[in-house]
Structure 1
Amino acid sequence: MSPYLIYGVIVLIFIFISIATGGSAFQEPTTTTASKFNVMLDQGDVDRVVVYNKSEAEVYLTKKALADKRYEKVSKDMLDRESKGPHYTFEIGNDEIFQTKLEKAVQEGKLKEYNFQMKNNWTDIFLTLLPIIVIVGVWIFIMRRMSGGGAGGGGGQIFNIGKSKARLFDEKTDIKTTFKDVAGLEGAKEEIQEIVEFLKNPEKYTNLGGKIPKGALLVGPPGTGKTLLAKAVAGEAKVPFFSLSGSDFVEMFVGVGASRVRDLFKQAKEKAPAIIFIDEIDAVGRARGKNNFSGSNDERENTLNQLLTEMDGFGTNSHVIVLAATNRADVLDKALMRAGRFDRQIFVDLPDIRERKEIFEVHLAPLKKVENLDTDFLAKQTPGFSGADIANVCNEAALIAARKEKTAVDKQDFLDAVDRIVGGLEKKNKIVTPEEKKAIAIHEAGHATVSWMLEHAAPLVKVTIVPRGQSLGAAWYLPEERLIVRPDQMLDEMCATMGGRAAEFVTFGKISTGALSDLEKVSKQARAMVTIYGLNEKLGNVTYYDSSGQSEYSFSKPYSEETAKVIDEEISELIEGQYQRAIKILEENKDKLNQLADILIDKEVIFKDDLEAIFGKRPFDKNLQEETA
């Protein structure tokens, strides 16, 4: 664009402002005093007066007065036109006395009119700043044109698009999270603390000839506390801590990701010793060459290549440690995972019962709860829950207690919160016919009966036929926390899961679609037994599981068509065998099954005590207190 055209546009804008404001935008009124105004008023030179906010008066002179040489300075504006005013301005004292003076002048014919108004300063501010805004806008436009229209170079563009987006935490930043706030995760905390200690006191390690690790990768399921650990490092470390997400490197412009990586490590090296934390590193660290069928240059690969070079290349600095977190370690590039880059892989697993108790105590601290709340009981009721799930339970319990107008959160509120999170919201207004209610009750009673009769099935906690979420009924169990699982344990669990459909068959002689989730669970478990864990006698000790994740990119199955047929047959045989086993158990206890279903229809919710009243004490019950001691 021609600069002359830009200048012309600016001139037109100023002319438009002048016309819109009657020329007043190009003329500032002259400041005067109250005594001089009195002289002008007595001589009849004042046409009208406008008082703003009872403190500032603007004076408009008559045309006759403007022709006088005494007012020559205020008679013309900046464009040498006749000034329309205001010509003078001054601060008034007492507004009531000043108004009385103006009224008297009007009565004597020395003043045409006066007016008191509230002044809105925003218009004046806008008109004052508008020329500056226009000039700055034109300057930015010119600079963008000069930069070639692309922001894809390095870090030197006008808008710093290649600069790192990392947030810096140091001793000046108020980070309240420390290792005390991280419950459980003892092994992960120990390794992370060692890295922090190395940066605080490197001589302790280097005196023995050791070297600082280049990086540590936090791997684990979602919600287990990987990012929380990094926050604790930021709170504990007395060194600069750079935090950002893997997606912060990704940009539509070519070369920006690599530029941001260079800039990030440059900043870290300047402040070394320092820590860099990259959350969700799989956004940029995915294995190269996969799913890239376009054949074109991949910006993400360039970013990863730059990251690999910075972590362990010719110009690297040994006093910059990289922490990263991901729950998808299987998709990361092998070059990123090798020793010398991420020297340590710290697995952050789901908490066990002891760690869940510690996590509960952390999240219960800010809640108003009843005295002597049993945290051991709460930990037992939440098997498989992550730290984020437990935080959600505590928050949900507080909300439930507030909904019930309670002054403190009690044990029942936590149980309701677990039910809400696991099963979904109760839908008591859902229309269920008596026949459907009977079928649901028989189905759930079948689950409860079979699980009660089997040694390795999870002990029952609660059964309900109140619809929750997508399900029409639900049963809650308290599974054992096993590190290894044996075939007889898996078969008992499958049999208990098939108990619902089996109860329908035993009672009504026909089945329904209500067992969909049961069939899905059993099918997955049976397939795992046959194809993953090598627990099938016919197939033998073989697994088709690929922990590296490479099989998802393969176009062929790791077994033949004959083996596929055997797998399908064995899976079907496993499921049907446990289904027939469940039918046999229920036929032997048909009276008790119907009795339990009648109680369910009546109460809608039954507990362990109701089953004990019908079946007697369960002979397989284990004391969980002894297991956790």
Structure 2
Amino acid sequence: MNNNKGFNWFFPIAIGAILLFFFSNMGGDSSSNQIDEEAFYKLMEQGKVEDVLIYKDTEKADVFLNQAAKTELAKKEAKKERSPFAAFDFSPKPDYTLSFGDLQLFLEKFDKIKAEYPTVATKKDYGIGKNPMTELLFTAIFWIAIMALFYFVIFRKMMGGGGGGGGGQIFSIGKSKAKLFDEKDKVQVSFKDVAGLEGAKEEVQEVVDFLKNSEKYTKLGGKIPKGVLLVGPPGTGKTLLAKAVAGEAKVPFFSLSGSDFVEMFVGVGASRVRDLFVQAKAKSPAIIFIDEIDAIGRARGKGNMTGGNDERENTLNQLLTEMDGFGTDTNVIIMAATNRADILDKALMRAGRFDRSIYVDLPELHERREIFDVHLAKIKMEPNIDREFLAKQTPGFSGADIANLCNEAALIAARNSHESVTTQDFLDAVDRIIGGLEKKNKAIKPSEKRRVAYHEAGHATISWLVEHAAPLLKVTIVPRGRSLGAAWYLPDERQLTTTEQMLDELCATLGGRAAEQTIFGNISTGALSDLERVTKQAQAMVTIYGLNDKVGNVSYYDSTGQSEYSFGKPYSEATAKMIDEEISKLIESQYQRALQILGDNKDKLDALAAKLLEKEVIFREDLEVVFGKRAWDPELTEHPVSSTQKNNEPTQEAEVIAPESGTQL
């Protein structure tokens, strides 16, 4: 590793400044003027002298004028050159310097003038004469101390403790900010600490094997992969997986974020990339982990209207060069993580750079149970808590979400003075995280409460009476967060969705507004989130998934993510009009279907709404009493859940189905 710090210019500059200060003070330009005795006596008679400081040992005196005389003197000497260091001297300076012959004669003359001119108020004081060399020496020591303090506090801090930094820069700003974990600072995380992610763990375990037994692969002519990209939604464990690789491989591990390369100075990002790879090669075999690589890896030339991203592109170019410059025996592997792989530059993703792309998906049911096992091991809870049940109540939760859920359950149990965490605490935690804080004291008019009850009963009725709707678990009209009411469903964790399933979901989502129309003869603004969801779902059916007969088997979805930089649409105005018509037709047909279902079952809708107004919270068993069992439902083993879903729309009452794992709309 290159430790050349370069020539340090601080000391030559400091010595030059001190010499300049010495010569400027020894040049003879005094900050005060010389005056003889006759001129002094004349000024004194005119009443212009305020004070005289007499130095007996040097037969000299400092003369200080009053304010009026100072102003007059300043006008006369406005163009006089001053020492460049005069601005830094804050001690009071005399206006004149007087040299007198005999002290006794000087004092007699001084007293005589004061006696002849009673208006003269000149004072006289005595002091010890100053040695010019001693004064100069103390001034020099003062400035040396100031410069030393400036060097050690400012320069040393900016240079990272005195290091030269990348490229031998004096401020070392181009030095890499990567945190190194090696034998002195080991990573304690192993694959045992990573629950779920079985497929991803298998792939990264090969990376560990490459580093530990590289000859096993290179002797057969194989090349060690240069880069591994971890892609997946936020909170799925990408960074944790990288830490586990570092802990298992037991090699130096450089960890940093993509934003660590970004700086306001031009060329700093590229310099930090060079310095990072120099350090990694020096400690080979090693791993470099760049979290959120999309901060510097965004596709070049996209959305750069003014050229303001040139520095980021230079950093990316340097990263591409460093990754492509590895030898096969260097044993340095770069790992990166991002949840926006679609916007990364194609050159970064080609073979020879990031050879492997590992998708870290949201955990499935059995993986969520494993994640619960890891986090529940640190919590004091009742022994009869069913982890399988908890896993079933959290579809679409990431590993980070589950960790937060366990912590929230412990806090709720402590708030309620429980000795251990109970199942109800976990359910309340799900309520709190997804639905928001319960607001039982929120004032709602009886007429509005009745409308909310029918709205939620409409959702529940439609979801119960159509085949492909998600199983209902709970309906509530208790305000929570920003919602006035909510319904919670437990969706199937399917990978594919058929047209019939999506149409049933649209119909169930529109059930709230349809119930208002059926009962009250009018509609309200409470269906805002419902309308937003059905609009997006219908738009996806027509323009993305090709599920509309008139538009046909076409998809206008751009998986590369480049369409966000385009101002135009990938279809004509006539097609756009047809798409709008088909989306509206699709939504309205399901709304009419919902009206028909609710009209045929109005008595059951009234009974369910009455239960809601009475209990405020009803569960699946209450719906079975009103409607009977669903003929097409498999036998469900889930317990009734005491929970709600969140609604981000202000002052609206609507349910949000728990996020599905699989096809995203």
Calculate the TM-score normalised by the size of structure 2: 0.73
Deviations 1:145-191 (A, max 9, x none): xx9xxx99953223321110001111321422111111111111111
Amino acid at match of 2:578: V
Pick from 230, 237, 250 the counterpart of residue 242 of structure 2.
230
Deviations 1:213-241 (A, max 9, x none): 00000001111110110111122121111
Distance 1:474 1:556 in 2: 38
Question: How has the CA–CA distance of structure 1 residues 317 and 163 changed in structure 2, closer, same or farther, with 3 Å as cutoff?
Answer: farther
Q: Tell me, yes or no, if structure 1 residue 255 matches structure 2 residue 270.
A: no
Deviations 1:24-71 (A, max 9, x none): xxxxxxxxxxxxxxxxxxxxxxxxxxxxxxxxxxxxxxxxxxxxxxxx
Q: Secondary structure at the match of 1:476?
A: strand
CA contact (8 A) 2:180 2:255 kept: yes
CA contact (8 A) 1:153 1:255 kept: no
Q: Tell me, yes or no, if structure 1 residue 193 matches structure 2 residue 205.
A: yes
Distance 1:417 1:516 in 2: 26
CA contact (8 A) 2:224 2:328 kept: no
Distance 2:562 2:573 in 1: 21
Distance 1:186 1:265 in 2: 31
Distance 1:236 1:625 in 2: 40
TM-superposed deviation, 1:615: 1.0
Question: How has the CA–CA distance of structure 1 residues 14 and 460 changed in structure 2, closer, same or farther, with 3 Å as cutoff?
Answer: same
Q: Tell me, yes or no, if structure 1 residue 352 matches structure 2 residue 339.
A: no
TM-superposed deviation, 1:418: 1.0
Question: How has the CA–CA distance of structure 1 residues 215 and 3 changed in structure 2, closer, same or farther, with 3 Å as cutoff?
Answer: same
Pick from 238, 263, 270 the counterpart of residue 282 of structure 2.
270
Q: Secondary structure at the match of 2:256?
A: strand
Q: Secondary structure at the match of 1:322?
A: strand
Question: How has the CA–CA distance of structure 1 residues 365 and 143 changed in structure 2, closer, same or farther, with 3 Å as cutoff?
Answer: closer
Aligned to 2:344: 332
Question: How has the CA–CA distance of structure 1 residues 156 and 316 changed in structure 2, closer, same or farther, with 3 Å as cutoff?
Answer: farther
TM-superposed deviation, 1:625: 6.7
Tell me the C-alpha RMSD between the 2 structures.
2.9
Distance 2:240 2:230 in 1: 11
Q: Tell me, yes or no, if structure 1 residue 403 matches structure 2 residue 418.
A: no
TM-superposed deviation, 1:469: 1.5
Question: How has the CA–CA distance of structure 1 residues 606 and 131 changed in structure 2, closer, same or farther, with 3 Å as cutoff?
Answer: farther
Pick from 432, 456, 462 the counterpart of residue 420 of structure 1.
432
Aligned to 2:3: none
**Within 5 A, what are the aligned runs for 1:363-442?**
363-442=375-454
TM-superposed deviation, 1:6: 6.4
Q: Secondary structure at the match of 1:258?
A: helix
Distance 1:432 1:590 in 2: 25
Pick from 161, 164, 168 the counterpart of residue 176 of structure 2.
164
Q: Tell me, yes or no, if structure 1 residue 446 matches structure 2 residue 461.
A: no
Q: Secondary structure at the match of 2:487?
A: strand
CA contact (8 A) 2:190 2:247 kept: yes
CA contact (8 A) 2:475 2:618 kept: yes
Aligned to 1:184: 196
TM-superposed deviation, 1:425: 1.2
Aligned to 1:211: 223
Q: Which moved more, 1:552-561 or 1:308-317?
A: 308-317
Distance 2:330 2:501 in 1: 50
The count of corresponding residues between Structure 1 and Structure 2 is: 513
Pick from 582, 603, 606 the counterpart of residue 570 of structure 1.
582
Question: How has the CA–CA distance of structure 1 residues 253 and 456 changed in structure 2, closer, same or farther, with 3 Å as cutoff?
Answer: same
Deviations 1:443-482 (A, max 9, x none): 0011111101111100111111111112110110000011
Question: How has the CA–CA distance of structure 1 residues 585 and 15 changed in structure 2, closer, same or farther, with 3 Å as cutoff?
Answer: closer
Q: Secondary structure at the match of 2:439?
A: coil
Aligned to 1:511: 523
Aligned to 2:487: 475
TM-superposed deviation, 1:11: 13
Distance 2:393 2:517 in 1: 32
Q: Tell me, yes or no, if structure 1 residue 607 matches structure 2 residue 619.
A: yes
Pick from 490, 495, 505 the counterpart of residue 502 of structure 2.
490
Question: How has the CA–CA distance of structure 1 residues 294 and 11 changed in structure 2, closer, same or farther, with 3 Å as cutoff?
Answer: closer
Q: Secondary structure at the match of 2:168?
A: coil
CA contact (8 A) 2:507 2:591 kept: yes
Distance 1:445 1:297 in 2: 53
CA contact (8 A) 1:152 1:255 kept: no
Deviations 1:544-590 (A, max 9, x none): 00000111112321111111111111111111111111111111111
Distance 1:5 1:132 in 2: 13
Pick from 543, 546, 550 the counterpart of residue 555 of structure 2.
543
Question: How has the CA–CA distance of structure 1 residues 568 and 594 changed in structure 2, closer, same or farther, with 3 Å as cutoff?
Answer: same
Question: How has the CA–CA distance of structure 1 residues 616 and 623 changed in structure 2, closer, same or farther, with 3 Å as cutoff?
Answer: closer
Question: How has the CA–CA distance of structure 1 residues 384 and 522 changed in structure 2, closer, same or farther, with 3 Å as cutoff?
Answer: same
TM-superposed deviation, 1:276: 0.2
**Within 5 A, what are the aligned runs for 1:128-143?**
134-139=146-151
Distance 1:191 1:613 in 2: 51
Distance 2:623 2:20 in 1: 89
Distance 1:5 1:597 in 2: 92
CA contact (8 A) 2:164 2:171 kept: no
Aligned to 1:114: none
Q: Which moved more, 1:543-552 or 1:207-216?
A: 207-216
Question: How has the CA–CA distance of structure 1 residues 602 and 13 changed in structure 2, closer, same or farther, with 3 Å as cutoff?
Answer: same
TM-superposed deviation, 1:131: 8.9
TM-superposed deviation, 1:602: 1.4
Distance 1:541 1:515 in 2: 31
CA contact (8 A) 1:216 1:324 kept: yes
Amino acid at match of 1:612: E
Aligned to 1:45: none
Question: How has the CA–CA distance of structure 1 residues 624 and 610 changed in structure 2, closer, same or farther, with 3 Å as cutoff?
Answer: closer
> Identity over the aligned pairs, expressed in percent?
73
Calculate the TM-score normalised by the size of structure 1: 0.77
Runs of 5+ unmatched residues, structure 1: 17-78, 80-128
Distance 2:578 2:396 in 1: 33
Amino acid at match of 2:370: E
Q: Secondary structure at the match of 1:164?
A: coil
Pick from 2, 18, 22 the counterpart of residue 3 of structure 1.
18
Distance 2:406 2:167 in 1: 46
Distance 1:465 1:341 in 2: 54
Q: Secondary structure at the match of 1:552?
A: helix
TM-superposed deviation, 1:301: 0.7
TM-superposed deviation, 1:211: 1.2
TM-superposed deviation, 1:513: 0.3
Deviations 1:9-30 (A, max 9, x none): 99999999xxxxxxxxxxxxxx
Amino acid at match of 2:457: A
Question: How has the CA–CA distance of structure 1 residues 482 and 235 changed in structure 2, closer, same or farther, with 3 Å as cutoff?
Answer: same
Aligned to 2:467: 455
Runs of 5+ unmatched residues, structure 2: 1-12, 26-83, 92-130, 132-140, 639-665
CA contact (8 A) 1:153 1:256 kept: no
Distance 2:318 2:609 in 1: 65
Pick from 214, 224, 228 the counterpart of residue 202 of structure 1.
214
**Within 5 A, what are the aligned runs for 1:244-323?**
244-295=256-307, 298-313=310-325, 318-323=330-335
Pick from 536, 558, 571 the counterpart of residue 559 of structure 1.
571
Amino acid at match of 1:568: D
Question: How has the CA–CA distance of structure 1 residues 572 and 134 changed in structure 2, closer, same or farther, with 3 Å as cutoff?
Answer: same
CA contact (8 A) 1:268 1:276 kept: yes
